[in-house]
Homo-oligomer: A and B are copies of this chain.
Amino acid sequence: MSTDRRRAILEGAARVIARRGVRGLRMEELATEAGVSTALIYYHFKDRAGVLRHTLEFISDRADRYTSDASGPGHPDGHDGPDGPRDALQELEQSLLLEFQDLPEVRENSTAWGELRASAIFEPELREDLARATLTWIYDVADLLGHIRPSTPAPALTAAAERLTGLLEGLSTRWLSGALPLDHARELVKEAVSTEVERLGR
């Protein structure tokens, strides 16, 4: 059925991008990966750029999903009990560390995200979607920081979130390029979180 194939193509694109990069994405390899013909890809996505755009969207949605899963079923509405800040800290750490796992889906997401980010330097069409997704991420993190340090002015929360997410993108690229072992990356992230939280508290 139509929708299934569409999805298969997008999932395939995420895998191929993780393996070869955006620059290495070949329509034919994608076709094979997804088990369809190249023509069908063009039928559904118009052209190569269309595939990239929709893959970005697909990736972001998927990341949203597993990121919000990390909050756990406990406080879906963001309401904290007396031990709120404690939990919120854990939750923040958790959600940031999700990016650093050696699981196929995570690697795919990180790789594709990094690739699309890097591509956007030279392909302005991607910028808008990317900017939106980035903002959402930053606000989510700022929100968690707000739970940990209530009564911190919003701009300070946002700035801290920008630093944490920015660091994550930097470390992620290093990890994926083999320049930084996974557990060391996780260590650095944890330290960064505690450093930022402490800063907000002083």
Count copies of this chain in the complex.
Answer: 2
Is A192 part of the contact surface with B, judged by Cβ < 8 Å? yes
Is A21 part of the contact surface with B, judged by Cβ < 8 Å? yes
**CB <8 Å contact, B23 and A177:** no
Chain B residues, Cβ within 8 Å of A56: none
Complex Cα gap A19–B121 (Å): 9
Residues on A close to B: CB < 8 A? 19-24, 111, 114-115, 117-122, 124, 127, 130-131, 134, 159, 162-163, 165-171, 173-174, 176-180, 187-188, 191-192, 195-196, 198-199
Contact residue among B127, B177, B179, B198 (Cβ-Cβ distance under 8 Å from A177): B127
Q: Can you list 20 residue pairs at the A/B interface with Cβ under 8 Å?
A: A21-B119, A23-B23, A24-B122, A115-B118, A117-B174, A118-B177, A120-B178, A121-B173, A121-B177, A124-B178, A127-B178, A130-B179, A159-B187, A159-B191, A162-B180, A166-B171, A167-B170, A169-B170, A169-B174, A195-B199
A75 to chain B, nearest CB (A): 28
Interface SS of chain A: helix
Complex Cα gap A192–B191 (Å): 13
Complex Cα gap A118–B191 (Å): 25
**CB <8 Å contact, A188 and B159:** yes
Chain B residues, Cβ within 8 Å of A131: 178-179
Contact residue among B20, B111, B166, B187 (Cβ-Cβ distance under 8 Å from A167): B166
Chain B residues, Cβ within 8 Å of A134: 174, 179
A106 to chain B, nearest CB (A): 14
Chain B residues, Cβ within 8 Å of A20: 122
A18 to chain B, nearest CB (A): 9
A189 to chain B, nearest CB (A): 9
